Structure 1
Amino acid sequence: MTASQTQTEMTEAVRLALLRADPELSRFDPLSRIISHDQFANGHCGWSQLVGNYENDLDTMLPGYAQHTGAMLSTLAHWDSGSHGAMGSSYALKIATRPKKGAQNVAIKRHTFRHRGRIRFELYFTFKPEASELKLSETDVRSIGFLFDLQAGDNDKAGERVMPHLRFLNALDGKHLQKWQFKRHTSPFQAVGNGEKTLSHYHLAPEGWEDLPSGEQRLCYNEIATKVNWTYLRFDFDLEEMKALEFQCNDRQFDMSGYESIRIPAMKNLWCMLNFCLFAETDADKRAFLYVDSVCISGDF
C-alpha cells in the first residue's frame, strides 16, 4: 500500500469517526461533502411552496399548482396524546393536502450545482391522514414521494432538463397497494397567459406512473390513526450521466435498472438547476400529511 493510499484511508476513517460522533448526522450516510442538513427545529431550511408559472394574473396558473399551499412546521399535534413531536426535535416539516380526494401538495428546495457528480438525498419521514375519525384510516393517503428537477450547465450543448420522480403508492380508490412507482413522461406543455415567454406543465398528474421492478413494500403504519413511526429513505443520482444509481427505503434496496427519469429539452434560464421536491396526495376527502424529520443532501466532491 502506498503512502497516498494510507493517507486516503486515514482521512476517510477520521471523516466517518466525526460523523458517527455527531448524533444529528450519524443517522445518515452522507457522501464526502454535505451540501445541506435540514433540521426543522431550525425553521423551514429553504423548503417552500411549489408555485406554478403564471403571467399577469395568478389565475393563469395551472390547476395542479393552484392547489398547493405552503409547507408548515409541526409538532405533530393530535387530539388523544397532545403532540407527538419529530424524531430528533419537537418540529417536523409538514406537507398537507387539501381535504379533497386526489388533492396534492408539494414542497420544494431550490439549489444549483457546482460539480456534476454523485448526489445523495436522505431523509426520515412518516405519513398519516388527518385523524378526524376513530379508525385506522390506513388507505386514506394515496401517495407520498419525492422528485428532483435538474438541468445541465449552460456549456452543455446536448443538455436536458431531467426530472427523476418516485412515489410510494399507498392506496388507490380505497384499495391498499403499497408499492413504489416512477414516471418517465410528463404532461404536455401549455402556454401561460397571453404571451409566449411562459410555459407550464404539471408533471405530477395522475397519468403515466409505472411500477418500479419488485417495488412492493409494506411500511410501518401503527395501530391507530394518531401514531407514527419514522422511515428512512435514500436516493443516489449521477448528475454527470443524469441517471439513477441506487434507491433504499428502510432495509430494502431496489433494482434501478428499469428506472427512467422524465427528460425534456433544456429551458433557457434553468442552467445548473438542482431542485428537490417532496409531495403528498390524499385518497379521501380529508387531508393527507407527509411529515419530514430531517433531510441530508450530500455529494462526492
Structure 2
Amino acid sequence: MKPTLTNDIQLSKYNPLPRILSFDDFDEGAHGWCELVGNHNGDLNELQPVFSDMRPPQLSTCTFFDLGTHGSMNGTYSLKLATRPRQFHQAVGIKRLTSPTNGRGQVETWFTYKAEQTFGPNASEIRAWDGNYHPSEAQFGSFTIWNDICEGPEPGQRYMCALRYENTNEAGDFTQRWMYKTALHPTTRMLQGGTPSTQNDVHVARTDQWEPVPGGNQQLCFNEVPTKVNWHYLRWQFDLASRQNIELQVNDLTLDLAGVPVLPTDEGYWGISRLLNFCFDVRTTSNVRNFLYLDSVLISVDW
C-alpha cells in the first residue's frame, strides 16, 4: 500500500515505495547531507588525495548574474554540490543511515546540473555558440547517484551500487549516457594494502573502469545557456536482499538494471554493520566549476 500523497504538493511529484524513510525538503535545511571525508587517524594528511577536498554541500537559491535568483523547483533553496575549477575535481554529498532489515529501497529527486558561467574564449569549446548551442554544455563532466551498503563484518558483505550520467568523457567529448562501474571503490584500507589508484575518481582506481548501461544513451535538458535551470525527475530502485540494482528512471527513460553487476568487497569491514549510505556527486572534466542541484530527495522502502 502506497502512502497517501495526493493532498501534499511536495510529495505528490514523487512515486515512493510503501514506507517513506526520509523526505528532504531543502527549504527546511540540509537534512543530514554532508561532505564525504575519507578515513584518517586524526591526521588529515592521511586522507586519500581524491577525498581530501570534496567540498561540503550547500543550500543554494540558484542565483545567477543575468536573471538573479531562480529558487528551487518548489521553494527557495536547493542542495548544491560544487566542484573546484580544476579538471577531474569531484564534490560528494552523503546521507548516513542504517537498515533494520533487507528489502527494496528507492531514491527519488528532482535535479538540475550546470557548468559555471565563464567569459571570453575557452580552450575546451567543442564548437562555438550559434544562438542555440552553448559551449558551456561541453564543460560539464558527470554526476553520480550511489549507495554504500554493509550487511556485517564478514568478507563479501560490503558493496556499492553506482550509476553515473556521463555528459562528457575524460577527453571532454560529448557522450551523454548512463554508466555503471566495473571495479571496486578503492577504500583507504585497500590502498594501505597496496591497491594502486590514479586518485582522480572516488569510485574507481582507474577511469576506464566504467561501462555504458545498455540502452542508457540520453540527452538531458541543459537549455542553451548556463543560467537556465530546468528540473529533471530521477527515480532509482535497488534491492538489499539480492544486492542488485533494479531500475533507473530519468524523465522518459526507464532502464532495467537487473543485468548490471554489483561487486562485493573481498575483505570484511569492522564497525559498519547495517550501513546504509546514500550519495550524490558531481565531477568536472574541464577547468570549470560544475554544479549539481537537488530540489528535494525522497528515500522510501518496502520494509
TM-score surpassing 0.5? Answer: yes
Structural mapping, 1:158-237, within 5 Å = 160-172=157-169, 173-191=171-189, 202-205=202-205, 206-237=207-238
Q: Judging changes above 3 Å, is the alpha-carbon distance between structure 1 residues 224 and 64 closer, same or farther for their aligned structure 2 residues?
A: same
Q: Give the aligned residue type for 1:289.
A: F
Structural mapping, 1:93-112, within 5 Å = 93-112=79-98
Structure 1 residue corresponding to 2:275, chosen from 248, 273, 276: 273
Shift of 1:258: 2.7
Using the TM superposition, name which of 31-40 and 248-257 deviates more: 248-257
- The corresponding residue for 2:149 is 150
- CA offset digits 1:106-134 (Å, max 9, x no partner): 01000001120111111111100111237
- The corresponding residue for 2:246 is 245
The structure where strand makes up a greater share of residues is: 1
Structure 2 residue corresponding to 1:284, chosen from 278, 283, 286: 286
Superposition CA RMSD, Å: 2.2
Q: Judging changes above 3 Å, is the alpha-carbon distance between structure 1 residues 84 and 115 closer, same or farther for their aligned structure 2 residues?
A: same
Q: Give the aligned residue type for 2:174.
A: H
Shift of 1:187: 4.8
> Counterparts of 2:38 and 2:46 in 1: how far apart (Å)?
9
Shift of 1:174: 2.6
Q: Give the aligned residue type for 1:174.
A: G
1:67 and 2:53 aligned:
yes
Listed as ranges, the gaps of 5+ residues in structure 1 are: 1-11
Structure exhibiting the larger radius of gyration computed from Cα positions: 1
> Counterparts of 2:22 and 2:92 in 1: how far apart (Å)?
19
Identity of aligned residues (%): 39
Note if contact 1:71-1:94 (Cα within 8 Å) is conserved in structure 2.
Answer: yes
Shift of 1:158: 6.9
- CA offset digits 1:111-164 (Å, max 9, x no partner): 00112011111111110011123762101111011110001146xx67510100
Shift of 1:186: 2.0
Shift of 1:54: 1.1
> Counterparts of 1:21 and 1:159 in 2: how far apart (Å)?
44
Note if contact 2:186-2:204 (Cα within 8 Å) is conserved in structure 1.
Answer: no
Q: Judging changes above 3 Å, is the alpha-carbon distance between structure 1 residues 284 and 158 closer, same or farther for their aligned structure 2 residues?
A: closer
> Counterparts of 1:291 and 1:204 in 2: how far apart (Å)?
24
- The corresponding residue for 2:138 is 139
Note if contact 2:110-2:294 (Cα within 8 Å) is conserved in structure 1.
Answer: yes
Q: Give the aligned residue type for 1:233.
A: L
Note if contact 1:151-1:266 (Cα within 8 Å) is conserved in structure 2.
Answer: no
Question: Structure 1 residue runs of 4+, over 6 Å off?
Answer: none
- CA offset digits 1:257-291 (Å, max 9, x no partner): 33112311331111000000100011211110000
> Counterparts of 1:185 and 1:192 in 2: how far apart (Å)?
13
> Counterparts of 2:43 and 2:248 in 1: how far apart (Å)?
40
- CA offset digits 1:57-95 (Å, max 9, x no partner): 101100000121110000011000101111011000000
